[in-house]
């Protein structure tokens, strides 16, 4: 039994980047471009967290009602919806940590491979918990009589988001059983690994798409736009005519897109 486990660990070592110092690593082989991309990703993650809090604390986001800014998980509160974008952004940042946990030298140069795996799994677990509360927040905000009932699952954002969330649950369970607790045979783990990586990538990118669609939906609800009296041949000069919250949401969407691109660069194989 122990020989099978050792053999399974050897197989995973060939499939996953490992930590330097104690075991071989690919972090030292990262190009300067990849290291720059990983660093910029961390900066963008911090920026996104600040940005989403700025957005939900702007009265324009709550249709001009300053009393409804901020967020709450109390289903009777009119602030409960605001927890949805905050927690979904937190989930995306946690996924980014999980996605780069085998790439960022700050992690791989300090931790052994088993500990890096703990960082990877824990990041996805926390993202799953955070997004569960985010879904609770949006359904609660729609299903409370005192706030007026609203339709659920009516937009493309809703369906893409719930599909990606379901896929994340499945991939997390498979990853936990097969690679975290190693409850399957080494040969099976070897066969599952490519699919685990593939779905991990699809879930991460799909999450970014769902976030951008959510920002688009909110922009439509808030009627983001500006009036023109002639042909709008240079939209850039009118950009500041957009409501402040609309510009902030556009910025958050571009940050999500940039993060996806940078993570793709940082995690490229040499």
| Of the listed ranges 139-153, 161-175, 179-193, 215-229, the one predicted with least confidence | 139-153
- Contacts (Cβ under 8 Å, ≥6 apart) of 114: none
At 183-218, the pLDDT tens digits run 999 999 999 999 999 999 999 999 999 999 999 999
Instruction: Tell me how far CA of residue 112 lies from CA of 24, 27, 84, 90, in angstroms.
Output: 10, 13, 35, 26
- Contacts (Cβ under 8 Å, ≥6 apart) of 27: 17, 20, 103, 104, 105, 108, 109
d(CA 33, CA 103): 13
Is 228's pLDDT higher than 70?
yes
Model pTM greater than 0.85?
yes
Instruction: Tell me how far CA of residue 221 lies from CA of 105, 217, 246, in angstroms.
Output: 42, 6, 11
pLDDT at 30: 66
Instruction: Tell me how far CA of residue 149 lies from CA of 3, 19, 92, in angstroms.
Output: 59, 52, 28
């Amino acid at each position: 039994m122990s020989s099978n486990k050792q053999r399974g660990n050897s197989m995973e070592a060939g499939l996953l980047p490992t930590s330097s110092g104690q075991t071989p690593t690919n972090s030292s082989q990262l190009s300067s471009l990849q290291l720059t991309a990983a660093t910029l990703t961390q900066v963008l993650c911090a920026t996104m967290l600040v940005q989403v809090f700025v957005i939900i604390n702007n009265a324009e986001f709550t249709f001009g009602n300053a009393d409804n800014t901020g967020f709450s998980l109390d289903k009777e509160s009119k602030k409960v919806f605001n927890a949805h974008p905050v927690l979904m952004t937190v989930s995306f940042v946690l996924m980014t940590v999980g996605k780069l946990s085998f790439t960022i030298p700050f992690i791989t140069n300090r931790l052994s491979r088993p500990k890096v795996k703990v960082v990877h799994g824990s990041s996805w677990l926390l993202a799953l918990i955070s997004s569960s509360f985010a879904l609770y927040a949006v359904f609660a905000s729609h299903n409370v009589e005192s706030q007026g009932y609203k339709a659920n699952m009516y937009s493309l954002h809703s369906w893409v988001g719930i599909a990606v969330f379901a896929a994340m649950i499945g991939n997390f369970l498979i990853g936990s059983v097969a690679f975290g607790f190693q409850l399957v045979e080494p040969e099976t783990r070897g066969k599952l690994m490519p699919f685990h990586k593939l779905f991990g990538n699809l879930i991460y990118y799909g999450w970014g798409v769902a976030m951008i669609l959510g920002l688009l939906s909110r922009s439509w609800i808030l009627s983001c736009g500006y009036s023109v009296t002639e042909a709008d041949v240079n939209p850039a000069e009118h950009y500041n005519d957009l409501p402040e919250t609309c510009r902030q949401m556009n910025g958050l969407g571009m940050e999500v897109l940039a993060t996806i691109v940078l993570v793709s660069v940082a995690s490229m194989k040499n």
